[in-house]
Structures are given as structure tokens and as C-alpha cells.
Amino acid sequence: MSLLRQPILLLARSEAVKKLVSTMPVSSGIVTSYVPGEGTEAAVEATARLVDDGLTVTLDYLGEDTLDAAQADATVAAYLDVLQALSSRGLARNAEVSVKLSAIGQALPDGGHKIALDNARTICRAARNAGTTVTLDMEDHTTTDSTLQILAELRRDFPETGAVLQAYLHRTEDDCRRLAHEGSRVRLCKGAYNEPESVAFQDKLDVDKSYVRCMKVLLQGDGYPMLATHDPRMIAIGRSIASDTGRARGSYEFQMLYGIRPEEQKRLAGEGESMRVYIPYGLEWYGYLMRRLAERPQNLSFFVKSLISKK
């Protein structure tokens, strides 16, 4: 099944296949399983459903590596729109937004750092006015220092701004120590980019060990850890560390992707854990969907059978 992953990822570039996927009944079901839609209304409706189930949400308007200033501006506008909608629906208390800096100008060749900082400030201000917060997503390792610098600058005026750290990077345990202070919200994930051995652990076991070490640092610190994982072992270890360190429920949270282990999300929430769901939406849903399909063999099989039956 792993042999199919690369071809599926290559299909992510095809507009023709995108049209086919979005119109086929079977694959349309797969689409909505992972991405609620392209616009604000669909994202907010999905948020409302999850909040009704006792979950909290973070919304990501899909897009990254933007090299067009107009597109960066459009992304900022999309965030302002969804924040207004969340506020109008009374959902802002239970829903924040996640922002990739490369989607709002960080990758622009002329003054990208400042453009991204200014755009992030605009989003942070709108989030505060709506009654919620922003978390800065982390991307590949070449942007880590720039992202943490922008985080530090934003936190001067918006100390509630959340950070993301990736456990597969060698540096992350030290970054956790620096960010595990009072008032600091930090999402810990394993990491999803193809990084070189010089900066990242390559073996899954080494990544898992790093994740546990980083969890310990964050849970023993004074900040607010956000443990992003679908791995049952990591969840169990995180809960154990939280208990051992005297962490009260509500002083940390777990996070999972929309459509991944939804029953486990509800179970954790039902047991009193704070459980946040990461909802991606927007026009760039296709590449995101194909990456999710490539990660899950059972969905790959379902998808390929759908394509065959369509011919």
C-alpha cells in the first residue's frame, strides 16, 4: 500500500483529478470527512457541531508558501471574516485560529518577515476583539527562527499568541524549555515535513522519545501545553505525566485533526480532558486532502477503488 502514496501525492497537482474527486459521490464523502468546505460558512458550521459535542476548535485557512502579496492579503481577509463569524455566532470562546506565516507573506522575497509580522498583528488584533486567540503554525525548519522571532514580537502586545514546536527537530527540547513559562501556550506535534538528518530525528522511535521528553518539559513547566497527537500511547503517557506533575484538567489540552479519530476525541472530552479539533478549510483543500489520504492506507484503498469504478 505504501507504494501508492507517492502517486497519490503526485495527483495532488492535477486540477482534472481535483474536479473528479470533488464530484464523485464516494470521494466527496472522503473530502468532507477531512475538510468541511472552502468557505467561512462551512468552517463555522463544523465548529458549531464540534462545540455542541463538548470540543473546542482551531481553524486553519489552508495555504502556505505564498509568493504573491495579493494572495497574502486575501488570506488575512479570510481570517478576519471567520473571526467575525465566530464572534457573531457566539463561538469565539471555544474556537481560535491557526495561522501559517508563509501564507501571510513570510515567504515573499522582499520584506517577507515584516509583512508576515504586520499581517499577523492584524489577525491577532481581530482575534482579541472577537474574544479569542491565534496560534502560529510551525513549518519547515528553515523558517523556525523567523517564526519564533515573530512570535516573540507578537507576544509583546498579544501575550496570548500560541506557539507550535515539532518534536522531530533536534532543537525542540531546548525550545520547549524556553517557552514553558507562565502564560505561554505551546502546541507540541511530532512534525510533518521532510527534514534532513542534520536537523531532525529520522527514526520513528527517536521521534517518539523526543515527543515524550518535550511533553515532560512542557507539563512540568508553567505554561499551557497543547499536546497534538493521535497516537494512543502518547495520549496515555501525556495523561500520566500530567497526573504525576499535579496538572489539573483544563491546564493543558489535547489536539487532533478534524476527521481523525472523532470518537476518541469525544471520549477524551467526555472524560473531562480539554480536547481541541484542528479544522482546515479553504480553496487549497485538495493538496491537504491528498496528504491525508496518503497517510492512511485504508483511505487510499477506498479512494483507488473509487477511481477504478468511475472509469
Residue 126 exposed, middle or buried by CB count within 10 Å (0-12, 13-18, 19+): buried
187 is catalytic: yes
Q: Within its chain, how far is the Cα of 152 from the centroid?
A: 20
For cell 457566539, the residue is 90
Which residue is catalytic, options 137, 140, 175, 208? 137
Cell of 15: 486540477
Which residue is catalytic, options 60, 175, 185, 187? 187
Cell of 16: 482534472
CB-based contacts of 290, cutoff 8 Å, min separation 6: 8, 9, 11, 12
Residue 23 exposed, middle or buried by CB count within 10 Å (0-12, 13-18, 19+): exposed
- Residue type at 157? D
Cα gap 56→311, rounded to integer Å: 41
Cell of 27: 470521494
Distances (CA, A) of 177 to 172, 213, 234, 274, 296: 9, 11, 19, 23, 33
Cα gap 107→150, rounded to integer Å: 13
Hey, is 90 helix, strand or coil? coil
Burial 165-201 (b: 16+ CB within 10 A, else e): bbbbbeebeebbeebbeeebbbbbbbbeeebeeeebb
Do residues 258 and 286 make contact, with C-beta atoms less than 8 angstroms apart? no
Beginning with the edge strand found earlier in the chain, give each strand of the sheet holding 253-257 in spatial order. 134-137, 95-100, 56-61, 275-281, 253-257, 224-228, 185-189, 163-166
68 is catalytic: no
Give the residue numbers marked as catalytic: 137, 187
